[in-house]
Each structure stands twice: as C-alpha cells, then as structure tokens.
Structure 1
Amino acid sequence: MSIKTASVKKILLLWTLLLFYGQSQAQQNNIIPPPLHIKTIEFKPLNPEAYAPIVKLGEKLMLSFDDINSEERIYSYKIEHCDYNWQKSNLSSTEYMTGYATDRIRKYQNSFNTLQYYTHYELQIPNENNRIKISGNYLISILDDYGNVLFTRRFIVYQPKVNVAVTAHRSTDPAVINEKHSIQFAINHPNLRLNDPYREIKVDVYQNNDWNSVIKDIKPKNVRGTQLWYNHVDGISYWAGNEYLYFDSKEIRNATNNIFKTRLDNIFNTFLYTNEARGNRPYTFYPDVNGNFVLRTLDAEDVGLEGDYSFVHFSLKYNENFDQDDIYIYGNFNDWQITPENKMHYNQESGLYEARILFKQGFFNYTHVAVDKNYRINPYKVEGSFYQTENEYTVIVYYRKFGDRYDQAIGLGSTNSKRLLN
C-alpha cells in the first residue's frame, strides 16, 4: 500500500467514525459533518446574545450557511423529533409539527464584492410553512437536490414546566481543587406531579453548550416534596479548562490584535501569532465568548453577503507527546466537531503544530484539544485547567411518564463559574 493510499484511507476513516467524544462520550452517531464546500454554518436563536440552538417552544431559530462552489443550488431541509438519547423518536411528523417537516430553503443569494464567491442560504424555524408543536430534542438535516444529506445539526425546544436553579462550585477534592468545577442544581416542580422521579425525570448538563461535554443519566440525590436535589458534592464535575483564544478578522486586509500579518493571493490569508501551550503557565484572565463566534466586518454592511473569506493560519508550540495524541483546533465554529479540516499537523522544520482553515470574517473563539487514538477529547492537556476559568453551565430537564411515547424538554437552568460558591 502506498503512502498516498494510506493517507487517503486514514482521512476517510476519520470522517466515517464520527469523532465526537466528550467527558461522557455523548451519543452523536446521527451527526453528519458538512462537505468541504459548505462553510460558516450558524445555527442559533434570533437573540444576538444567545449562541446555542436551544429555544422555548414558539421562539425562532436561524440557520445560515455558505456554499463556496460558485453556483446556486436548490437545497431543502428535514426536521425530525428525537428522544433523550438523540435517536429518532417513533412519532410521525404530524404529531410534532404542523405544515411540512421537509421543505425547500427559499432564501438564498449570491455574495458580492468578495474575492471568495459563495451563495448564502438562510432558514428560519419555525416559518410560514411549518410550526413545531411539542418540546424535545430535534435534528435538522440539510439535503441537496438529489435528496442526499449534506449535514445535520441538533437543536432543543423546551417548554418551561419546572424551575431549575444551578450553582457552580470549586471542587472539594484536594487532588483537583485548582483544576475542576463541581455543578449542583435543584429542580422545583410545584405544578408537575411525579410518580417516580428517578425514572420520569432525566437531565443533561453541558459546559459552554459544547455537545461533547454532556453528562447524562444523573439521578437526584434527594427528593423533598416538590423538589429534586442534585447536590452530589463532586459527582457532576468538569475540568475547568482555560479561557478561549481568539482572533478578529473584521479588518481582513490589516494585521490586528493576535494577527501578525495578512497576505493576498487568490483570496486573503490571515496569519496568527504562534501560540504556546498554556498547561504549565500561570492562569491569565481575558474575556471570551466561551468558544463561540460572531460574524462581522468593517468593510460592508451585510456580513452575510459581503463578508469575505480568508485562510487562517494557526501555529502552536507544543512538543509533549506529539507523536501520541493528535491536536485539533476546537470551538463552535464547526459545531465542536473533530474533522480532518481542523486537525493540526506537526512541521518538522518549524517545530510547530500548524493548521490552515477557511474562515469568514468575524470574531472567533478557539482552543487546542488533544485527541487520543480512541478519539477521546482531552480539553486540558494542551491548554491546562484552572478553577478561575469562566465557563457557562447549562442544565436541560426532560420528562417522560410511564406510557408516554416521547421525552419532553420541560426546563432549563444555567449558571456561570464567575460566581463560584466556595
């Protein structure tokens, strides 16, 4: 077998295994990464301060993406209801939606005044052709004009029937007291009768709305009247990690903070300053958006159609065990996925890990994660973990009483580790 053939097979293996693992190795076998010509998938509520596709029943989400193949294509979408474990439920589309569960994306337009040509697509959910009727987990698939799935994304629709109070704590374990956060919460359900809360209620906990970070199947420690207490001292714990790195390419022609030079070839190239692994360095605070991104440009009014693209060049100084774990650029810019496109490669000549990824103009958070041969993500090996790190923690509550055919999402609570209670 030639080296070239082996490399191709390795890339194909990376795609087909769906490398999406977190602290609890969430079940993500229904998530399909986008092909290389689909870029800048943004899926979030209309609220500009929200980044995760989690909304109350009746609120709207916006999905947008670019196709850089230089031609207008007719794309459609399909919405499917899922159970607590993100497997497709047994409900028919008429039970969870009114209108069309599958429909065409009607809003699209070609870019203008950009070196990188693309077609920009937008879809609002719900819209005049459909409406979601019940809460729960959902999967949206984008289909090409032959009915093939281009990519999939998850979203959660909840209907608040319980109150969720969440608190973040510094770990009490002396071995990791400086590195971990412990999460505790209580569910108050005065208007919801529970016959068996240990079976009827399920919860998911997320760090920074990263799908890979989910901790599932947690049972309450105490049940007191209409309250469920999840006050396990260190039973729900996370590595605190480090603040996210960032770059801002809103001025795509000029070097700015964290960008040391730009170059124009066929399209723009943005070169970031070399990062150093921070695991053995002191913690330093600077504000971030917890791995998310905001599209923006100073060169035009409509970043959706006039935002240009550049190849962003990353480099990392990190030599520890470089031949054992792979290093990836990680963040919400690609839905927290581990794919060949965001993998860093070790350059023997420079002694650095390097990557080149195509980004639209905007402010982007990212970090470096190590991924072992079993495709498990280690979020702290390269960047370290410090209890001072600011993280957002979110709890989603699900309810399914005996005899029900689907899992309802009935509550959401969140907290920030800036408010550690110990």
Structure 2
Amino acid sequence: MKSTIFLTLISLWLLGACTPLAQYQGNAGAATKVLRNIDYAYEPQIKTVVVRPAYGDPQAFLEPAVTRLGQWNLMLEFDDLHTARDNYYIRLVHCNRDWTKSDLQDLDFMTDFNELPINNAEFSVDTYIPYVHYWINLPAVKLPGNYLVVAYRGGDKNDIILSKRFMVYDTRVSFENERNLIGAGNIASLNQQINFTLSYKNLDIINPLESVNVAIRQNQRWDNIATDIKPSFVREIEKQLEYRFFDETKMFKGGNEFRFFDIRSLNSPGRNIASVNKMTKPVDVFVARDKSRAGEAYSQYVDYNGGFIPANLDYNSESFNNYANINFTLASKSLPGDVYVTGKFSQWNLDEQNKMTFDSAHQEYQATVLLKQGWYDYQYVVKSKTLPPYYLEGSHFETENSYEIFVYYKAFQPRADLLIGYIRLEKNER
C-alpha cells in the first residue's frame, strides 16, 4: 500500500515538473521566427491584419496605409483567434526604399520610446470561432519614409506575431500629371501607362538621376510594384524630372475588374454566394463557381480594386462578426504553374494559405480560406514560367485602377531614403 502511494506521488511530481518545460519550449520556439519586412502573419491564428486611417467610416478599410508627416491618423488592428487576451506590444522599424532595414537608430526617427503596449481589445460575442480584436494608433515619427510596424508577444521582440508596412510622406516635390500616351497594336489593349513631371524647386539635389528614385504601385499591390524608376528627362535649370513610359516593359497591365462576393450576412447571403452550410462550425461558404475570363471582352462594373470591408448585417455590432471557411472553385484545365486566389485579404502574398489545388476529376482548382464576414474582392493569379500572372483574368486598358506614385530621395543627412513625395491617381475613374 505504501509503495503504491509513493509511486503515485512520484508520478504526480513528474507530471507537474513537465509543465514549466513545455512553456519554456514554446517561448524558445518563438526565437526561431525571422522578421520579414513584408505584410505577414507569423502565427496562423492572427487574422484580418489591417493598417488604415483611424476614422469610423467602413471605407477606411479601402484606404492605403499612407499618411502625411505630421498627421498621425493610422491605426493597426487585427484578430487573434483565441479565447483569452494576450499581452502584445508594437515597435516601428525604419526601412529603405527597397524595404531593407535602414541604418537609422530609433532616436533618429521616433519621438518617444520605441515600444508600445496594445491596450485596446474586444472579445467576440457568440461567434463560431471565438477571437479577440486588438487595435492601436500608430505613434508619431520624425522622418518621412518606409516603416514596418511589428507586433510581438509579452515584450519578447523575438516572439513576433505580425509585421505590416506603412508609409509616411512629406510634400517636398510637386506633380504634374500629363496626358497618357498609349502605344499601338495589342500593347494598347493590355496596358496602362502613367506620364508625369516632378518639380523639386524647394530642394537642392546635386545628382537627381542617382539620388531620386520613384516607385509606382497599382491597387495597393505589392506583388507587381514597379521600383527604382528613373526619369526619362532631367531639366536641372527648371529643377524638373520628366517621366514618360513609352515601352511595354514600363507599363502596367490594366488587368481586369476584380471578382467579388458578399458574406455580410450568413442568414441571407449576398451576391456571388452559391450556398452556405451552417451545419459545420465554422460555417462553410461556397462562392459561385468561377471560370477563366481570358479572351473575354471587357465588362465594366464597380469594384473595390482588390480591397475588402469587414461587416455584419445580421447584427448591429462588429463583435458578432463570424469567421467562415470560404470555398473557391475555378473551372480550368491543369496549368503549368501554381494558381492562387488573392486580394488585399491575403495581403497580396502568394503562399500556402491561398494556394489552390487541382481536382482532376472535376477539372477545377479549389481553395479554402478562413475569412471574416464582409465584402471581398478577389482575383486568380498564375505563378508560372510560361504563363503571365493575369492569364486567368485577362487584361484591358479600360479597367479602372488606382495608382500611387512614391518619390524617394537619398539624403546625405540623415543617410536614409526619405519619402519626399506621394500622389494617388485614378485611371478610368467613373
């Protein structure tokens, strides 16, 4: 009897001794996370990561993560699919124009200590997947440029949960948008080009051809951004840089208007939803079966240029927003490459979370993505050595697109790429 009691006590002691070891291993695993200077969630339960203007209009979700120096109006928000609140912090990283970390120290670009706790949190209510919604206003910075906000757990900077890019610009140059000149033949039917002139009368730039760099982004996308664009003409007396893109390699593909679906209500699903299965938890939502739009004539309709707006029509509170498994199907033969369903909801990343698999029996591509209730734009992108990315969508110069021009200047002091100009242009705005 005594021996039995003794063995039982020993067993309980050993079980208790395992608990700190398991916790330690979890923290040690966080040290293996490597910071990527991109929009990225480092843990699968971190969802719907957004940096947007901090005002209540739902249209703010469609705005780019860009603000003017002196206007501190950007907010980071995200969901953590856990039942308990965690202790999260953020810090900022200053980056060069190519998003590599700059040589600046925190005190060079921060006005306060570079670590802030995320104090705002709200628990979901009666959702199939419980989650905690976090948000924080981004701190002020002293210099214009590219920035990365990094969130991490418990004050451990190695235990990263997300990274998100944003830009702060100054108005040291002015823009003159010129009449767009389109090339001949089928080049004109696929592409859109932007011509503009920069005036830097308020700056003393010795060698603008080398020290000034321009990047152009279409629909807030990172997967096809044009970088290190040099001027076609330099007028040093007038202090002007002229950008004219006549050849196809310096044009943007017009692409196509984005596909979309509406899951603001799970009780009364919206447009382009084929069915909803409420017997599963989380709910399974099936988007209407798609097909390739290659070779089709351009069709005009209003979209959000790849964006999304979380929303819930079943209840008045955002705390009731459910997450659902969104099932995509694309009728297609097998293609020589990988197919992805993407949009701002995937942070424009092409990875395993939004990669599609081919079903030979049904001759279709399939993917399931866990998304929050709302209105979503999306497209199918091909990653192939022989096919263009827009192979499944087609490309038209009539497509309505939003463009952003970023102007970077490599200053002598501080030795960093400063964002000295920014403008948004709408192509075929309606």
8 A Cα contact 1:170 1:177, kept in partner: no
Partner of 2:401 in structure 1?
A: 391
8 A Cα contact 1:68 1:117, kept in partner: yes
Match of 1:254 among 268, 272, 275: 268
Report the alpha carbon displacement of residue 17 of structure 1 after superposing the two structures with TM: 12
8 A Cα contact 1:254 1:261, kept in partner: no
Q: Which moved more, 1:259-268 or 1:359-368?
A: 259-268
Alignment-mate amino acid for residue 314 of structure 1: F
Q: Which moved more, 1:264-273 or 1:402-411?
A: 402-411
Match of 2:252 among 230, 238, 259: 238
Match of 2:119 among 106, 115, 118: 106
Partner-residue secondary structure (3-state), 1:198? helix
Alignment-mate amino acid for residue 202 of structure 2: N
Match of 2:48 among 28, 36, 40: 40
8 A Cα contact 1:163 1:413, kept in partner: no
Report the alpha carbon displacement of residue 138 of structure 1 after superposing the two structures with TM: 0.5
Is 1:285 aligned to residue 300 of structure 2? yes
8 A Cα contact 1:166 1:413, kept in partner: no
Q: Which moved more, 1:376-385 or 1:104-113?
A: 376-385
Is 1:343 aligned to residue 358 of structure 2? no
Matches within 5 A, 1:84-123: 84-123=97-136
Structure 2: state its 5+ residue gaps: 1-32
Partner-residue secondary structure (3-state), 2:229? coil
Alignment-mate amino acid for residue 215 of structure 1: A
8 A Cα contact 2:147 2:166, kept in partner: yes
Report the alpha carbon displacement of residue 158 of structure 1 after superposing the two structures with TM: 0.4
Partner of 1:276 in structure 2?
A: 291
Structure 1: state its 5+ residue gaps: 1-15, 19-27
Percent of aligned pairs with the same residue?
29
8 A Cα contact 1:30 1:87, kept in partner: no
8 A Cα contact 2:264 2:270, kept in partner: no
**1:19-60 deviations in Å (ceiling 9; x for gaps):** xxxxxxxxx765544321111112112354552111101221
CA distance in 2, matches of 1:88, 1:377: 33
Distance 1:170 1:383, change over 3 A: farther
Partner of 2:94 in structure 1?
A: 81
Q: How many residues align?
A: 387
**1:137-175 deviations in Å (ceiling 9; x for gaps):** 111111123431122111100011111234574630424
- Find runs of 4+ consecutive structure 1 residues off by over 6 angstroms: none
Alignment-mate amino acid for residue 407 of structure 1: D
Alignment-mate amino acid for residue 393 of structure 1: Y
Partner-residue secondary structure (3-state), 1:328? strand
Match of 2:220 among 209, 222, 247: 209
Alignment-mate amino acid for residue 288 of structure 1: D
Alignment-mate amino acid for residue 283 of structure 1: Y
Distance 1:192 1:361, change over 3 A: same
Match of 1:132 among 121, 127, 141: 141
CA distance in 1, matches of 2:384, 2:171: 39
Distance 1:17 1:104, change over 3 A: closer
8 A Cα contact 1:184 1:236, kept in partner: no
Distance 1:168 1:103, change over 3 A: farther
Alignment-mate amino acid for residue 241 of structure 2: L
Matches within 5 A, 1:183-198: 183-198=194-209
Aligned-pair RMSD on alpha carbons? 2.3
Ranked by relative contact order (alpha carbons within 8 Å, sequence separation 6 or more), the top structure is 1
- The higher radius of gyration belongs to 2
8 A Cα contact 1:166 1:395, kept in partner: no
CA distance in 2, matches of 1:171, 1:151: 41
Is 1:326 aligned to residue 338 of structure 2? yes
CA distance in 2, matches of 1:90, 1:183: 33
CA distance in 2, matches of 1:342, 1:189: 43
Partner-residue secondary structure (3-state), 2:325? strand
8 A Cα contact 2:88 2:118, kept in partner: yes
8 A Cα contact 1:369 1:379, kept in partner: yes
Partner-residue secondary structure (3-state), 2:428? helix
8 A Cα contact 2:339 2:355, kept in partner: yes
CA distance in 2, matches of 1:30, 1:256: 33
Partner-residue secondary structure (3-state), 1:99? coil
Partner of 2:309 in structure 1?
A: 294
